[in-house]
């Protein structure tokens, strides 16, 4: 197991993101970076019957472009909680483990959360709990600051929908069962929700095999 890494916050982060949670002893989640649009910070990608579907958490536009991630507030615009939960249910209700885990995640879509960072971390904690992934995860105290240690591996920009997953030489997504695989083919590096609802506790084995 590697010693330490630095990640950005992520909404239902992709499998690549969770492969780092699996393979590092200590994980620091960046709380002080300036918020970046169109990233996994407020977006996840799931497999729908028609192919991939992006789910985006709306935010309240900050007064400055230099707003820290920890201060980004969630907007109630567009009834997004209802839409996201319906999308998850429509995509995964026939998967092997959706009904088993649904009660664990429905509260995230019935309770109002003020800050995106806190919302993301709560989901991440629940996922790690359910797949028995025990790690030390802490937010940064300042931008890029990891307990005054500059040797942590930095994945803040590498794990991004704007960067080809092949650019990460330490990650390769194994093929696992997906509910719409016969229709859409296997789709790699989707949200951890896809892996969790399709594979349940065996998600941990897939993460193990994703580490190069």
pLDDT at 141: 85
Tokens of 208: 């193990």
pLDDT at 197: 98
The pTM assigned to this predicted structure is 0.94
pLDDT one-digit tens code per residue, 114-165: 999 999 999 999 999 999 999 999 999 887 655 545 678 999 999 999 999 9
**Nearest residue to 18 via CA among 154, 147, 189, 162:** 189
Tokens of 153: 């591996």
Q: What residues form DSSP beta bridges with 51?
A: 48
H or E element, residue 28:
strand 24-30
Beta-carbon count within 10 A of 2 CB:
13
State which residues of the chain have pLDDT below 50. Answer: 148
């Amino acid at each position: 197991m590697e010693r330490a890494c630095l990640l950005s916050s992520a909404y239902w982060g992709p499998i690549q993101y969770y492969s780092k949670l699996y393979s590092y002893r200590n994980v620091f989640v960046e709380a002080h970076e300036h918020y970046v649009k169109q990233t996994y910070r407020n977006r996840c990608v799931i497999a729908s019957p028609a192919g991939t579907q992006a789910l985006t958490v709306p935010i309240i536009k900050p007064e400055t472009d230099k707003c820290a991630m920890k201060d980004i507030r969630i907007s109630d615009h567009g009834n997004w909680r209802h839409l996201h939960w319906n999308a998850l249910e429509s995509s995964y209700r026939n998967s092997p483990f959706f009904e088993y885990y649904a009660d664990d995640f429905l509260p995230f879509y019935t309770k109002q959360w003020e800050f995106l960072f806190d919302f993301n971390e709560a989901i991440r904690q629940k996922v790690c709990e359910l797949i028995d992934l025990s790690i030390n995860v802490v937010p940064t105290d300042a931008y890029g600051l990891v307990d005054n240690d500059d040797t942590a591996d930095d994945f803040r920009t590498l794990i991004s929908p704007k960067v080809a997953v092949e650019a990460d030489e330490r990650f390769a997504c194994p093929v696992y069962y997906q509910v719409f695989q016969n229709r859409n083919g296997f789709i790699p590096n989707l949200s951890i929700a896809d892996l969790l609802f399709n594979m349940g506790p065996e998600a941990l084995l897939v993460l193990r095999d994703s580490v190069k």
